[in-house]
Amino acid sequence: MTETVTNPIAAVKKQLKELAARPFKATYKVPALWVETGCQPEDGKAAVAVHPGEFYLKHIEAIEKHARNDIDPLKSLNQQLPGGDGGNWVNREAIYNIFVRLTAAYDHNGDGKLGGGKNDLTLNADGMRESGTFLKAIAMLGYIKALGCSTIHLLPVTAIGHDGNKGELGSPYAIRNPYKLEETQADPLLSLGVEDQFRAFIQACHMLGIRVICEFVFRTASKDSDWIAEHPDWFYWIDEKIADRTPGETDLKKAAAHYGNPIFTAEELKVINAKVTAGDLNELPPPHADYRSFFKLPPAAASVKFNEKKQYRAEATDPETGKKCTVRIPGAFADWPPDDNQPPWGDVTYLRMYNDENPQKPEFNYIAYNTIRMYDRRLARPELANKALWQTIVDLVPFYQQRYGIDGVMVDMGHAVPVSLMQQLISRARMIDPDFALLSENFEIKQDSVDAGYNAVVGYAWWVEYRRDGMYDLLNHVGNKGVPLSFFGAVENHNTPRAAGRPGGEEYAKYAFLVNTMLPRSIPFIHSGQELGETIPVNTGLDFTNADLEKLKGTKLALFDQCGYKWDGNHPMFGFISRVLQLRRDFAGAVNQTGNDSFCMVQTGHADVIAFIRRGEGRHLMVLFNRDLENSLANEISLEWCLAGSVGQLENLVGDGKDRYFKVNHQKLAYSLKPGQCCVFVW
């Protein structure tokens, strides 16, 4: 690790002052939306040509001007601000999700492309980094505050591996070393190392009262991970001669002869699903013998070497024959359901969480659903835990707490990490910071996440609300029945289709976001680009049909390639999201209630016009929307039970012009809603 500076923001400011004092002859444009802290973004304005030293210096000075004087920004805010509540502070936040490389990317020299340097694709011809950096993320804090967000969730910022990269730059989930940061997130305008630039970003966030949650991956590593040469027994190995399966291969015989997700018969899948659904993880059906034969014993560390393509190769033993062969690290794939249609994850591999009882004649020496997620009971025994690996994982979060002062962690696929490992990890993190927030990428909202020690889960709103019956199911589950912990009020994330890219476009995206933001136990979550109306997904990992994948074939995906957002132009979603988040703050007394009587569905007279009321502290907030994206619908809603007879009209707080006021006659609200139109009324 490089030597760190005592005060990273001061060090950044000093270097920017020196840069600002020198002439800058190249073109350096920035989005007009990236305003200084304390300023209100004006949407639709053209990009601005700036001197980068002056531009970033002004942002640092504005942060200093608006900084809190009651906290130490180099430490987590959790113990410094009131209401930490064991990490449940996150329940009161609005989260902005950043993938640094993408979110803060911009075509600074205006040549119509991002970067493109011969030796470093992220740099432009003038040596300026056009992919996102921590310095540019600091310059976005004024914009993020103006949007209404109080917490930042970072996708992994750790060092990226390159064996098997799907695109130009590789995925942040292909982690070469979780204890190191990805170097390309450092801005070459500064001579500080990436660690200090990251510390400066967190310090700047804390100065403004913004917490930072980092995402970590505990089940996988890149296929060229630093750990492989040091600890080959932490990984699975297969015969080098076994080629990878071609994605989409339909010939079962040919598919079975190549490496990929194990193929099960229809009857086997039926048994697997029945056992897992019943919670019976004993004697789970294993993959076929041919598939299991691909895997060899872990090699000795001394034999592990890089080949000319920077891929790990080693000499290992076949447990069946005792013969030696050359082995390689196999790629990963979606582990559940066993017949998932996701493209293979050829840039990462699964970590070996458990050792076999008989290492020389192993029964579970393969990658499949029953060794990496739905752990077979015979394997998932405390004495078989890969203890050195587990300890290294448990030490990771405390390292980031103590070195960087982070405020929380999102656990990638938290429900698939061994329970006892997560218990150790959570215990260590909370020993350092009792109010540290732990979030899980779990799509179910169940008590077992509470029992595990999590403060919130991702949830499933994004997956159901655009479906015909999904919205009603969501409202009934979350609103009427209630859920045991908080979840993300997300209409999209980095693995799903963009909300504005679904049928209905921004009209759908608006009403779905409004609904999510006003639900009980919902944490507003803005996936960066959502507020800009972006339609191209970051990745195609979840909820994509085969037809969707075909349409996107050839499209650059930001999880792997150099991409940026359309920061210039008009973005109606920005103003809408900002307004909805303000309403949530203004009427928190009703929205933050969690009791059964705080949520009530309202009859509207149309199955496609949905309304519900949130109430508390003497307030009623009603959400009303037309989910029919083709037809206008009109009727009236009886509010005799909750609205005073003297009221003659209600104001739609997210409407404009003619959409602003709705007549009330004898406590009945008359509505006429355009396709996809949504409203908020408060009394």
568-591 pLDDT, tens digit per residue, is 999 999 999 999 999 999 999 999
Average pLDDT over residues 306-310: 96
pLDDT of residue 413: 87
Residues in the chain: 683
Residues 191 and 333 reside in one and the same domain? no
Q: Which of 533, 566, 586 is the last residue of a domain?
A: 586
Residue 538 inside a domain? The answer is yes
> Model confidence at 656, in pLDDT bands (50, 70, 90)?
confident
Residue 2 lies in a domain: no
211 and 246 fall within a common domain: no
pLDDT cut 90: percent of the chain above it: 94
Beta strands in 532-658 (DSSP E): 599-602, 609-616, 619-626, 633-638, 649-651
Residue 1, pLDDT score = 45
Q: Is the peptide bond before 524 cis (omega within 30 degrees of 0)?
A: no
The torsion defined by the Cα of 635, 639, 643 and 647, in degrees rounded to 10, comes to 30
395 within a domain of the structure (yes/no): yes
Residues 130 and 230 placed together within one structural domain of the fold: no
Q: Kindly report the backbone phi and psi dihedral angles of residue 510, in degrees, each rounded to the nearest multiple of 5, phi listed first.
A: -70, -55
Q: Between the CA of residue 491 and those of 221, 372, 421, 459, 516, what are the distances in Å? A: 28, 29, 31, 11, 8
Tell me: the pLDDT tens digits for 361-371? 999 999 999 99
Could you tell me which residues come within 8 angstroms of residue 337 by beta carbon, excluding any fewer than 6 positions away? 269, 273
| pLDDT recorded at residue 211 | 98
The continuous run of DSSP H or E covering 380 comes out as none
- Is there a single domain that holds both residue 31 and residue 96? yes
Residue numbers of the domain that contains 283: 226-350+352-383
Residue 165 lies in a domain: yes
CA gap 328, 163 in Å, rounded: 11
Shared-domain flag, residues 134 and 189 = yes
Asked if residue 342 has pLDDT above 90, the reply is: no
How high does pLDDT run on average in the chain? 96
DSSP 342: P
- Tell me the residue type at 147: L
Q: Is 271 helix (H, G, I), strand (E, B) or coil?
A: helix
d(CA 355, CA 560) in angstroms, rounded, equals 32
605 pLDDT higher than 90? yes
**Beta strands, E only, 142-192:** 151-154, 158-160, 175-181
pLDDT at residue 478 is higher than 90: yes
- Final residue before a domain boundary, out of 586, 612, 640: 586
Global pTM value: 0.95
The reply to whether 246 and 195 lie within a common domain is no
pLDDT over 70, % of the chain: 100
Q: Give 518-536 as a DSSP string.
A: TSTTEEEEEETTGGGT--S
Mean pLDDT, residues 214-222 taken together: 97
Task: Find where tokens 């011969």 sit.
Answer: 118
What pLDDT is recorded for position 3? 57
**Same domain as 275, residue 375:** yes
The answer to the question of residue 469 being in a domain is yes
Beta bridge partners of 637: 669
288 in the same domain as 181: no
547/120 Cα distance (integer angstroms): 35
Joined together, the tokens standing for residue 74 give 């180099």
CATH number reported for the structural domain that contains residue 185 in this entry = 3.20.20.80
Cα-based angle 172, 455, 195 (whole degrees, multiple of 5) = 35
Q: 3 lies in a domain?
A: no
Please say if the pLDDT value at position 199 is more than 60: yes
Residues 190 and 305 in one domain: no
Quote the number of domains for the chain. 3
Q: What is the mean pLDDT of residues 498-527?
A: 98
Kindly give, in sequence order, each residue whose CB lies less than 8 Å from that of residue 347, ignoring residues fewer than 6 positions away.
Answer: 161, 162, 163, 164, 165, 166, 170, 171, 173, 174, 222, 223, 331, 560
Same domain, 661 and 577: no
Question: Which among 586, 608, 630 is the end of a domain?
Answer: 586
Residue 594: phi and psi, rounded to 5, are -125, -5
Q: Is pLDDT at 343 greater than 80 in this prediction?
A: no
Does residue 558 form part of some domain? yes
Residue 204 belongs to some domain of the structure: yes
What DSSP string runs through 25-55?
Answer: -S--EE-TT-PPTTPPP-TTPPPEE--HHHH
247 and 205: one domain?
Answer: no
92 with 73, same domain: the answer is yes
The DSSP string of 417-449 is S-HHHHHHHHHHHHHH-TT-EEEE--SS--HHH
Distances (CA, A) of 398 to 84, 115, 132, 428, 430: 18, 35, 26, 7, 9
State the pLDDT confidence band at 514, using cuts at 50, 70 and 90: very high
Proportion of the chain in helix, strand, coil states, percent, rounded to 5:
30, 20, 50
pLDDT of residue 427: 95
Structure confidence by residue, pLDDT tens digits, 64-118: 999 999 999 999 999 999 999 999 999 999 999 999 999 999 999 999 999 999 9
pLDDT at position 657, please? 82
Task: Assign residue 598 the CATH number of its domain.
Answer: 2.60.40.1180
